[in-house]
Structure 1
Amino acid sequence: MLKQVLHKGFSIAMAILVLFSTVSFTVESHFCGDTLVDVSIFSEAEKCAMESMEILQKKSCCKDKVNVIQGQDELHVVSFEDLDLDQDQLWFTFTQSYPILFESLSKQIIPHKDYVPPNLIYDIQMLDEVFLI
Protein backbone atom coordinates (compact mmCIF):
# COMPACT_ATOMS: atom_id res chain seq x y z
CA MET A 1 0.00 0.00 0.00
CA LEU A 2 2.73 2.44 0.99
CA LYS A 3 4.73 1.51 -2.10
CA GLN A 4 1.78 2.33 -4.39
CA VAL A 5 1.17 5.67 -2.68
CA LEU A 6 4.85 6.62 -2.93
CA HIS A 7 4.96 5.53 -6.58
CA LYS A 8 1.92 7.64 -7.46
CA GLY A 9 3.28 10.60 -5.48
CA PHE A 10 6.64 10.50 -7.25
CA SER A 11 4.91 10.13 -10.63
CA ILE A 12 2.76 13.20 -10.00
CA ALA A 13 5.77 15.17 -8.73
CA MET A 14 7.79 14.29 -11.85
CA ALA A 15 4.88 15.26 -14.13
CA ILE A 16 4.56 18.63 -12.38
CA LEU A 17 8.33 19.15 -12.60
CA VAL A 18 8.30 18.50 -16.36
CA LEU A 19 5.29 20.77 -16.80
CA PHE A 20 6.82 23.71 -14.93
CA SER A 21 10.24 23.31 -16.50
CA THR A 22 8.81 23.65 -20.02
CA VAL A 23 6.26 26.45 -19.42
CA SER A 24 7.27 30.06 -20.14
CA PHE A 25 5.46 32.98 -18.53
CA THR A 26 5.78 36.71 -17.91
CA VAL A 27 5.45 38.66 -14.69
CA GLU A 28 4.41 42.24 -15.33
CA SER A 29 4.64 44.87 -12.58
CA HIS A 30 3.32 48.46 -12.63
CA PHE A 31 5.02 51.05 -10.43
CA CYS A 32 3.72 54.53 -9.74
CA GLY A 33 6.79 56.35 -8.48
CA ASP A 34 8.43 53.85 -6.14
CA THR A 35 5.15 52.22 -5.10
CA LEU A 36 4.11 48.89 -6.53
CA VAL A 37 0.56 49.21 -7.82
CA ASP A 38 -0.14 45.88 -9.53
CA VAL A 39 1.56 42.58 -10.33
CA SER A 40 0.15 40.28 -12.98
CA ILE A 41 1.11 36.88 -14.35
CA PHE A 42 0.03 35.82 -17.88
CA SER A 43 -1.79 39.14 -18.50
CA GLU A 44 -1.21 42.87 -18.56
CA ALA A 45 -0.91 44.69 -15.23
CA GLU A 46 -3.57 47.27 -14.37
CA LYS A 47 -2.53 50.88 -14.83
CA CYS A 48 -3.07 53.43 -12.10
CA ALA A 49 -5.14 56.63 -12.40
CA MET A 50 -1.96 58.67 -12.75
CA GLU A 51 -1.22 57.00 -16.08
CA SER A 52 -4.16 58.72 -17.80
CA MET A 53 -3.15 62.11 -16.40
CA GLU A 54 0.45 61.67 -17.58
CA ILE A 55 -0.68 61.49 -21.20
CA LEU A 56 -1.87 65.08 -20.95
CA GLN A 57 1.22 66.27 -19.05
CA LYS A 58 3.74 64.25 -21.11
CA LYS A 59 5.59 63.60 -17.88
CA SER A 60 5.89 60.06 -16.60
CA CYS A 61 6.21 59.00 -13.01
CA CYS A 62 4.84 55.55 -13.77
CA LYS A 63 6.86 52.68 -15.16
CA ASP A 64 6.18 49.10 -16.17
CA LYS A 65 8.61 46.27 -15.44
CA VAL A 66 8.26 43.02 -17.38
CA ASN A 67 10.11 39.86 -16.36
CA VAL A 68 10.01 37.03 -18.89
CA ILE A 69 10.77 33.62 -17.42
CA GLN A 70 11.76 31.25 -20.20
CA GLY A 71 11.04 27.56 -19.88
CA GLN A 72 13.07 24.80 -21.43
CA ASP A 73 12.32 24.75 -25.13
CA GLU A 74 14.92 22.26 -26.34
CA LEU A 75 13.72 18.81 -25.39
CA HIS A 76 15.88 15.86 -26.39
CA VAL A 77 13.68 13.48 -28.36
CA VAL A 78 15.28 10.24 -29.49
CA SER A 79 13.88 8.63 -32.60
CA PHE A 80 14.09 4.95 -33.41
CA GLU A 81 16.65 5.59 -36.15
CA ASP A 82 19.09 7.15 -33.64
CA LEU A 83 19.54 3.89 -31.73
CA ASP A 84 22.74 1.93 -32.23
CA LEU A 85 22.97 -1.85 -32.78
CA ASP A 86 23.10 -2.80 -29.07
CA GLN A 87 20.06 -0.72 -28.26
CA ASP A 88 18.21 -2.15 -31.26
CA GLN A 89 18.91 -5.69 -30.07
CA LEU A 90 17.82 -4.84 -26.54
CA TRP A 91 14.61 -3.23 -27.80
CA PHE A 92 13.84 -6.18 -30.08
CA THR A 93 14.49 -8.72 -27.30
CA PHE A 94 12.34 -6.78 -24.85
CA THR A 95 9.39 -6.47 -27.23
CA GLN A 96 9.54 -10.17 -28.09
CA SER A 97 9.83 -11.44 -24.51
CA TYR A 98 7.50 -9.01 -22.69
CA PRO A 99 4.18 -10.61 -23.77
CA ILE A 100 5.43 -14.00 -22.54
CA LEU A 101 5.30 -12.66 -18.98
CA PHE A 102 1.51 -12.47 -19.16
CA GLU A 103 0.80 -15.91 -20.62
CA SER A 104 -0.83 -18.31 -18.20
CA LEU A 105 1.07 -21.38 -17.11
CA SER A 106 -0.06 -24.77 -18.34
CA LYS A 107 -1.90 -26.86 -15.79
CA GLN A 108 0.48 -29.30 -14.17
CA ILE A 109 -0.61 -32.90 -13.76
CA ILE A 110 0.16 -34.40 -10.37
CA PRO A 111 -0.16 -38.18 -10.64
CA HIS A 112 -0.26 -38.94 -6.90
CA LYS A 113 -2.63 -36.13 -5.93
CA ASP A 114 -5.39 -38.50 -4.72
CA TYR A 115 -3.08 -41.08 -3.10
CA VAL A 116 -3.78 -41.67 0.58
CA PRO A 117 -1.01 -43.56 2.43
CA PRO A 118 -2.03 -46.50 4.58
CA ASN A 119 -2.50 -46.04 8.30
CA LEU A 120 0.56 -47.07 10.30
CA ILE A 121 -0.20 -49.43 13.13
CA TYR A 122 3.40 -50.10 14.07
CA ASP A 123 6.51 -48.13 13.33
CA ILE A 124 8.54 -50.92 11.69
CA GLN A 125 11.79 -48.95 11.65
CA MET A 126 11.64 -48.42 15.40
CA LEU A 127 10.71 -52.01 16.09
CA ASP A 128 13.55 -53.41 14.02
CA GLU A 129 15.87 -50.51 14.87
CA VAL A 130 16.80 -50.07 11.23
CA PHE A 131 17.47 -46.50 10.13
CA LEU A 132 18.49 -45.05 6.82
CA ILE A 133 21.49 -42.79 7.08
Structure 2
Amino acid sequence: MKEIFQKISAILMSAIILLSTISFTVDAHYCGDDLVDLAFYKEAKSCGMEQIKSTKDCGDKVEKKSCCTDKQIVLEGQDDLKDNTIKLSFEQQVFIISYAYSYHNLFQNLDASITSFIGHPPPLLDKDYQVLYETFLI
Protein backbone atom coordinates (compact mmCIF):
# COMPACT_ATOMS: atom_id res chain seq x y z
CA MET A 1 0.00 0.00 0.00
CA LYS A 2 2.85 2.36 0.86
CA GLU A 3 4.56 1.75 -2.49
CA ILE A 4 1.35 2.48 -4.40
CA PHE A 5 0.88 5.75 -2.47
CA GLN A 6 4.48 6.78 -3.19
CA LYS A 7 4.08 6.06 -6.91
CA ILE A 8 0.82 7.99 -7.13
CA SER A 9 2.26 10.98 -5.27
CA ALA A 10 5.39 10.97 -7.49
CA ILE A 11 3.23 10.96 -10.63
CA LEU A 12 1.05 13.79 -9.29
CA MET A 13 4.05 15.95 -8.34
CA SER A 14 5.67 15.45 -11.74
CA ALA A 15 2.38 16.36 -13.46
CA ILE A 16 2.11 19.54 -11.35
CA ILE A 17 5.64 20.56 -12.28
CA LEU A 18 5.00 19.82 -15.95
CA LEU A 19 1.76 21.83 -16.04
CA SER A 20 3.28 24.78 -14.16
CA THR A 21 6.18 25.11 -16.62
CA ILE A 22 4.21 24.79 -19.88
CA SER A 23 3.21 28.03 -21.58
CA PHE A 24 0.65 28.22 -24.38
CA THR A 25 -1.46 30.65 -26.37
CA VAL A 26 -5.17 30.46 -27.19
CA ASP A 27 -6.35 32.68 -30.04
CA ALA A 28 -10.07 33.20 -30.68
CA HIS A 29 -11.82 34.97 -33.57
CA TYR A 30 -15.34 36.29 -32.96
CA CYS A 31 -17.69 37.56 -35.64
CA GLY A 32 -20.22 39.58 -33.73
CA ASP A 33 -20.99 37.49 -30.67
CA ASP A 34 -20.36 34.15 -32.37
CA LEU A 35 -17.10 32.23 -31.99
CA VAL A 36 -15.80 31.46 -35.48
CA ASP A 37 -12.40 29.89 -34.82
CA LEU A 38 -10.33 28.83 -31.83
CA ALA A 39 -6.66 27.97 -32.25
CA PHE A 40 -3.92 26.85 -29.91
CA TYR A 41 -0.31 27.97 -30.49
CA LYS A 42 -1.17 29.80 -33.74
CA GLU A 43 -3.35 32.60 -35.08
CA ALA A 44 -7.06 31.87 -35.52
CA LYS A 45 -8.49 31.91 -39.05
CA SER A 46 -10.67 34.89 -39.89
CA CYS A 47 -14.20 34.71 -41.25
CA GLY A 48 -13.46 36.99 -44.21
CA MET A 49 -15.74 39.83 -43.15
CA GLU A 50 -13.03 42.32 -42.26
CA GLN A 51 -13.45 45.91 -43.37
CA ILE A 52 -12.08 46.36 -46.89
CA LYS A 53 -10.37 49.73 -47.25
CA SER A 54 -11.48 51.91 -50.09
CA THR A 55 -8.93 52.82 -52.76
CA LYS A 56 -10.68 56.07 -53.65
CA ASP A 57 -9.00 59.27 -52.67
CA CYS A 58 -12.06 61.05 -51.37
CA GLY A 59 -11.80 63.96 -49.01
CA ASP A 60 -14.13 62.54 -46.44
CA LYS A 61 -13.65 58.97 -45.44
CA VAL A 62 -16.34 57.10 -43.64
CA GLU A 63 -15.10 54.02 -41.91
CA LYS A 64 -17.36 51.49 -40.33
CA LYS A 65 -16.38 49.64 -37.23
CA SER A 66 -15.67 46.02 -37.98
CA CYS A 67 -17.95 43.42 -36.46
CA CYS A 68 -15.02 40.97 -36.04
CA THR A 69 -12.82 40.82 -32.95
CA ASP A 70 -9.76 38.78 -32.09
CA LYS A 71 -8.97 37.75 -28.53
CA GLN A 72 -5.72 36.22 -27.46
CA ILE A 73 -5.10 34.50 -24.13
CA VAL A 74 -1.47 33.87 -23.24
CA LEU A 75 -0.64 31.63 -20.29
CA GLU A 76 3.05 31.81 -19.51
CA GLY A 77 4.71 29.08 -17.54
CA GLN A 78 7.24 29.34 -14.81
CA ASP A 79 10.78 29.81 -16.10
CA ASP A 80 12.60 30.46 -12.85
CA LEU A 81 12.90 26.89 -11.62
CA LYS A 82 15.93 26.20 -9.48
CA ASP A 83 18.41 23.71 -10.87
CA ASN A 84 19.60 21.50 -8.02
CA THR A 85 22.64 19.89 -9.56
CA ILE A 86 25.52 19.03 -7.28
CA LYS A 87 28.96 19.22 -8.80
CA LEU A 88 31.36 16.75 -7.20
CA SER A 89 34.99 16.21 -7.94
CA PHE A 90 36.30 12.77 -8.87
CA GLU A 91 37.73 12.20 -5.38
CA GLN A 92 34.39 13.05 -3.75
CA GLN A 93 32.58 10.66 -6.08
CA VAL A 94 35.03 7.85 -5.25
CA PHE A 95 34.60 8.51 -1.52
CA ILE A 96 30.79 8.47 -1.72
CA ILE A 97 30.72 5.26 -3.76
CA SER A 98 33.19 3.46 -1.50
CA TYR A 99 31.35 4.63 1.63
CA ALA A 100 27.99 3.44 0.28
CA TYR A 101 29.46 0.11 -0.81
CA SER A 102 31.12 -0.56 2.55
CA TYR A 103 28.02 0.54 4.48
CA HIS A 104 25.85 -1.77 2.38
CA ASN A 105 28.17 -4.72 2.97
CA LEU A 106 28.29 -4.00 6.71
CA PHE A 107 24.75 -5.29 7.22
CA GLN A 108 24.79 -8.30 4.94
CA ASN A 109 24.26 -11.64 6.62
CA LEU A 110 27.29 -13.80 6.07
CA ASP A 111 26.62 -17.51 5.83
CA ALA A 112 28.54 -19.39 8.56
CA SER A 113 28.91 -22.53 6.45
CA ILE A 114 31.29 -20.88 4.00
CA THR A 115 34.78 -22.30 4.41
CA SER A 116 37.89 -21.58 2.43
CA PHE A 117 39.23 -25.15 2.24
CA ILE A 118 36.32 -26.92 0.56
CA GLY A 119 38.24 -27.63 -2.62
CA HIS A 120 41.44 -28.76 -0.83
CA PRO A 121 41.75 -32.23 0.77
CA PRO A 122 43.55 -32.58 4.14
CA PRO A 123 47.25 -33.51 4.03
CA LEU A 124 48.24 -37.20 4.20
CA LEU A 125 49.78 -38.23 7.54
CA ASP A 126 53.00 -40.27 7.59
CA LYS A 127 52.64 -41.40 11.16
CA ASP A 128 49.79 -41.91 13.55
CA TYR A 129 50.68 -39.33 16.22
CA GLN A 130 48.14 -40.58 18.77
CA VAL A 131 49.72 -44.01 18.83
CA LEU A 132 53.27 -42.58 18.66
CA TYR A 133 52.81 -40.34 21.71
CA GLU A 134 50.26 -42.61 23.38
CA THR A 135 47.72 -39.86 23.89
CA PHE A 136 44.13 -41.04 23.65
CA LEU A 137 40.94 -39.21 24.48
CA ILE A 138 38.83 -41.01 27.02
Deviations 1:76-96 (A, max 9, x none): 124546xxxxxxxxx998655
Distance in 1 separating the partners of 2:95 and 2:5 = 30
- Percent of matched pairs sharing the same residue: 36
Structure 1: unaligned runs, 5 residues or longer: 82-90, 110-133
Aligned to 2:52: 55
Distance in 1 separating the partners of 2:44 and 2:29 = 6
Query: What is the TM-score of this pair, normalised by structure 2?
Result: 0.55
Question: What is the aligned residue count?
Answer: 99
Residue 39 of structure 1 and its aligned partner are, at CA, apart by: 2.0
Pick the aligned partner of 1:107 from 105, 111, 114. Answer: 111
Residue 32 of structure 1 and its aligned partner are, at CA, apart by: 0.9
Distance in 2 separating the partners of 1:10 and 1:101 = 29
Q: Is 1:18 matched up with 2:17?
A: yes
Structure (1 or 2) with the larger CA radius of gyration: 2
1:88-103 aligned within 5 A: 96-100=98-102, 102-103=104-105
Task: Pick closer, same or farther for the CA change 1:3–1:62 going to 2, 3 Å.
Answer: same
Query: What is the TM-score of this pair, normalised by structure 1?
Result: 0.57
Structure 2: unaligned runs, 5 residues or longer: 55-62, 88-92, 114-138
Distance in 2 separating the partners of 1:49 and 1:96 = 72
